[in-house]
Structure 1
Amino acid sequence: MAEGKLFAGHVVRRLRRQSGLTQAAMAEMLDISPSYLNLIERNQRPLSATLLLRLSERFDFDPRQLAANEPGGGADAVRRRLADPMFADLEIDRGELEEWLAGAPGGAEAFARAYDRIGQGGPAPMSGESDPAVPVRREIERWRNHFADLDAAAEEVADELRLGAGDLYGAIAERLRVRHQLSIRILPADVMPDLLRRLDLHARQLQLSELLDPASRTFAAAFQLAQNEARGGIEALVKAAGFATPAAERLYRRHLTGYFAAAVMMPYARFLRACEATGYDLEILQRRFGAGFEQVAHRLTTLSRVGARGLPFFMIRIDRAGQVSKRYAGASAAALVEAQARCPLWRLHHAFDRPGTLTAQLVDLDGSGDAGVARWFTMARTVTPPGRRYGGVEAMFAIGLGVEATLAAPLSAARGIDLAGEATPIGLGCRQCLRADCPQRSAAPAARALLINERERRMSAFTFAGD
């Protein structure tokens, strides 16, 4: 995409080759000249709305594939990979990147796959098999974590359930019983000591632990409903992803099934209206839709329906050690999501000091390296997964949410904050951050040589070349 024009020559070329057509044959079917088709495939001419319509009619082509098949996940995704310190000396600007994607999409895709396979710039995996979460996250990123068909189907189911009963959990339980001959049974914790949910097909029961809170119980029931009623759409998306390993397929299938379940609990149109009416008030959204904080946070990253888009949030979940277990950039293209390390000055890490309290912060990435959008309005809060028993280990995670500062004015959490005022300067981890004299710095940037001066002591103990 450049200046509002759609360049997708790689997609048209792939479609032509899959159909076994020459350029002349495809041009005739599209009522254009072979030379014009050649220019389109070389990204020297944009795709018009008329041509998109002809492609969809004559080749059973879904225009949404254009967003799902951008080389490397699109310019923002490739830009985040290039922000790795190993590429710092190349100084690839946005114009050069766009020329690369337009002129050599296959090369850009190859770069993205190679980079992802070695763990985003880290050492090659010792097992010889890459982490299945990497290609799954990349596929989710391709779709901006918005699956329109699943959302539409879930919305229809939610409307039907709403007509049947006011209690969503009860309505789902009744639908499972009547349509799928599955009953829900709540079992004591000592009967299911290590499980929260189990499907017993022999007994035709969905068995849920009594340790699940109401929101988690509803989600578990909706998850089972998704497995029964959205299987076709989910399997089509899994097959189209073309994963190399069964583990990646299963992980992606679980994500899509959970996506459908959340969409049943928080139907798109109603949820977006509630977001806009309440200023994206997270507590009100939880109560109105009977959902947990993490469920609402995840749902905020999916609001990319054409003609009805919400604010482009990102979400990240970390533990006390800073390890990431969930990250969704959605439509935000936030470098904070993909970074392999985080800045201790970001209050995401401070959330553990005040469990259950929402903390807001305006952060500034300007000067921390090539991080794209500079200013972000972020929120953080801890969550505790269901299932803890007395005397057991209490798990706790911090959920981070963020949106571009220029878009944050409607947020209830941003009231009273000067979004154009002073912001906390942070980076993407010390090894990637180029800020000088940061008192919290723990290492010199990977792209700069460490300097040692025995006659001086600056604010930071890590002075580096170019500082």
Structure 2
Amino acid sequence: MDDSRKLFVGPRLKRLRRDLNLSQAGMAEELGLSPSYLNLMERNQRPITAQVLIRLADTYSLDPREFATDDTERTASELEEIFADPLFRSTPVPRLELRETVEAAPGLIDAVSRLYRAYVALRGAREARPPEVSDRDRAEDAPQDNPVDRVRHLIQEAKNYFPELDEAAEALASDLQVTGHEPFFAIAERLRAKHGIRVRVMPVDVMSDSLRRYDHHRRQLLISEMVDPPGRTFQAAYQLAFTEMRQSIDDLSARLEPTDGPARRLLRVSLGNYFAGALMMPYGRFHTAAEALGYDVEVLCARFGASFEQVAHRLTTLARPGARGIPFFLVRVDSAGNVSKRFSSGRFPFSQYGGTCPLWNLHATFKSPGQIVTQIVELPDMSRWFSVARAVRRASTAWGTPDPQFAVGLGCELKYAHRLVYARGLDLSAPDPTPIGINCRLCERVACPQRAAPPLMHALIVDEMRRGVSPFEFDPA
């Protein structure tokens, strides 16, 4: 076997052993290996073999595919993005060094990522405060870590898959299906009969500033009439999550985020949303349907009474051992390009901290609401991806009020595209991908007419006598 196909998982193997509170001799004995051989594997001086992977899976109830998944590239890309910040302009770090550090010191990398997120939060707070406020007050008032970024990181670390919530939602969905009611009415009846909570759809003038509100005193769940049927089902399912699954959600949140604060509360909301989606689209039935339908999002919408965004989000959670779906990523942007959702069950090819590339046709969907567009794209690292995108609306709005619209992009590595209904008829063996970047400050493509900023790691070239295709020209060397 050539080196490119060998799998070195030393740091991950060492973390597993420490999590199990085992010595090298103890783990080696349980796996039927010599301590010296285990030591070599932990130091990446020997690759892990298929036989050892199988023994690990059998001995410690692991999914060998999950253990064998190489996250080094994803983590190295995140770290490369961090070190592209102008803060590090005078001390560039080669990608090879970043990759070596990821493999050798994963705990250190996690600490660096958290420190950078705290720095970004502090910088944002500094820019938002008026100039007369002292630097000390800015620092004291700033959050230590942006709760939104922190929760995104925690969800990504879990591969956007929470088996205890999925299993509970699947069992509850089976109970609700027995009633024979449509999901919304079945959930509403469950809330009324078992918990004494009445679900009411209220006029927009009563719910002028809310889509959903729970009245603790009257034990009523109020949902705005402007929320469409899939949204009403989702909001009722969310309430059921916090009525029947509160302890499980609290325990899981505390385990993932030990520090009580905004991040843990936001994580609870995210887990409640996860349960709601899992209740509407129970794992087994949804995964089977997705595979049979070629991941046709709109047919899945009709079958499960869900919206395009709800189905797309659910597709990023299909990571159950033995019943995995395609490892999708999801991005949601508004018309200004602000990213408000990022989820992935595998590699995430785009920026963790900035926007996206305007050459990605995700942004073109605003011109044709309701129409699905597809695209094969190629990133600067030569990786190729297949994306499906559509513009969506969160809820109906009254005349004279803002009508927020978003574009949802769902994508996967090109090697999975043959399983998608959207790729039928395409020659995937000889595609013609659109070259795009991660975002402008990290993109090194020259002569891009859409470039909004020069790349941070290259010197800007200014020629007063020439105007190129791109407003920012740079030395690519």
Shift of 1:463: 1.9
Aligned-partner Cα distance in 1 for 2:217–2:124:
44
Corresponding residue of 2:369: 355
Aligned-partner Cα distance in 2 for 1:138–1:447:
25
The answer to whether the 8 Å contact 1:133/1:251 transfers is: yes
Deviations 1:64-103 (A, max 9, x none): 8x979x99x865134223145347953323xx55543343
Corresponding residue of 2:290: 275
Equivalent position amino acid for 2:178 in 1: L
The answer to whether the 8 Å contact 2:214/2:221 transfers is: yes
Aligned-partner Cα distance in 2 for 1:337–1:461:
22
The answer to whether the 8 Å contact 2:173/2:279 transfers is: yes
Corresponding residue of 2:79: 81
The answer to whether the 8 Å contact 1:188/1:209 transfers is: yes
RMSD of equivalent CA atoms: 3.2
Corresponding residue of 1:182: 197
Q: Secondary structure at 1:264's aligned position in 2?
A: helix
Deviations 1:417-467 (A, max 9, x none): 333322221112222111112222233211111112345443333221136
Deviations 1:180-217 (A, max 9, x none): 22221222222222222222232222222222211111
The answer to whether the 8 Å contact 1:431/1:446 transfers is: yes
The answer to whether the 8 Å contact 2:396/2:403 transfers is: no
Corresponding residue of 2:354: 340
Aligned-partner Cα distance in 2 for 1:259–1:409:
28
Corresponding residue of 1:444: 454
Alignment equivalent of 1:422, drawn from 432, 441, 444: 432
Alignment equivalent of 1:400, drawn from 386, 401, 409: 409
Equivalent position amino acid for 2:299 in 1: I
Equivalent position amino acid for 2:435 in 1: P
Alignment equivalent of 2:206, drawn from 188, 191, 194: 191
- The 3 A distance-change label for structure 1 pair 182 and 375 is same
Shift of 1:175: 1.5
The answer to whether the 8 Å contact 1:74/1:142 transfers is: no
- Alignment map for 1:276-425 (pairs within 5 Å): 276-331=291-346, 333-336=347-350, 338=352, 340-366=354-380, 370=381, 374-419=383-428, 420-425=430-435
Q: Does 1:237 pair with 2:252?
A: yes
Aligned-partner Cα distance in 2 for 1:15–1:285:
39
- The 3 A distance-change label for structure 1 pair 212 and 460 is closer
Alignment equivalent of 1:15, drawn from 10, 14, 19: 19
The answer to whether the 8 Å contact 2:237/2:279 transfers is: yes
Aligned-partner Cα distance in 2 for 1:222–1:323:
28
- The 3 A distance-change label for structure 1 pair 79 and 337 is closer
Equivalent position amino acid for 2:474 in 1: F
Q: Secondary structure at 1:338's aligned position in 2?
A: coil
Deviations 1:364-405 (A, max 9, x none): 213xxx4xx621111221111125222211111111111112
- The 3 A distance-change label for structure 1 pair 164 and 443 is same
Aligned-partner Cα distance in 2 for 1:410–1:276:
8
TM-score normalised to structure 1 length: 0.85
Deviations 1:115-145 (A, max 9, x none): 332239x946434313101111110001110
The answer to whether the 8 Å contact 2:202/2:222 transfers is: yes
Deviations 1:316-363 (A, max 9, x none): 1111111111111221x1222526132211111111111222111221
- The 3 A distance-change label for structure 1 pair 50 and 361 is closer
- Alignment map for 1:127-206 (pairs within 5 Å): 127-129=141-143, 130-206=145-221
- Alignment map for 1:29-44 (pairs within 5 Å): none
Corresponding residue of 1:59: none
Aligned-partner Cα distance in 2 for 1:416–1:38:
50
Aligned-partner Cα distance in 2 for 1:379–1:461:
30
Q: Secondary structure at 2:341's aligned position in 1?
A: strand
Aligned-partner Cα distance in 2 for 1:458–1:154:
56
Aligned-partner Cα distance in 1 for 2:115–2:19:
24
Corresponding residue of 2:279: 264
Alignment equivalent of 1:253, drawn from 240, 262, 268: 268
Aligned-partner Cα distance in 2 for 1:375–1:205:
49
Equivalent position amino acid for 2:476 in 1: G
Equivalent position amino acid for 1:90 in 2: V
Aligned-partner Cα distance in 2 for 1:428–1:300:
22
Equivalent position amino acid for 2:427 in 1: D
Q: Secondary structure at 1:379's aligned position in 2?
A: strand
Corresponding residue of 1:462: 472
Q: State the identity as a percent.
A: 43
Aligned-partner Cα distance in 2 for 1:385–1:403:
24
TM-score normalised to structure 2 length: 0.83
Deviations 1:256-275 (A, max 9, x none): 11111101111112111211
The answer to whether the 8 Å contact 2:226/2:397 transfers is: yes
- The 3 A distance-change label for structure 1 pair 13 and 412 is closer
Paired positions, count: 447
Equivalent position amino acid for 1:335 in 2: P
Q: Secondary structure at 1:135's aligned position in 2?
A: helix
Q: Secondary structure at 2:190's aligned position in 1?
A: helix
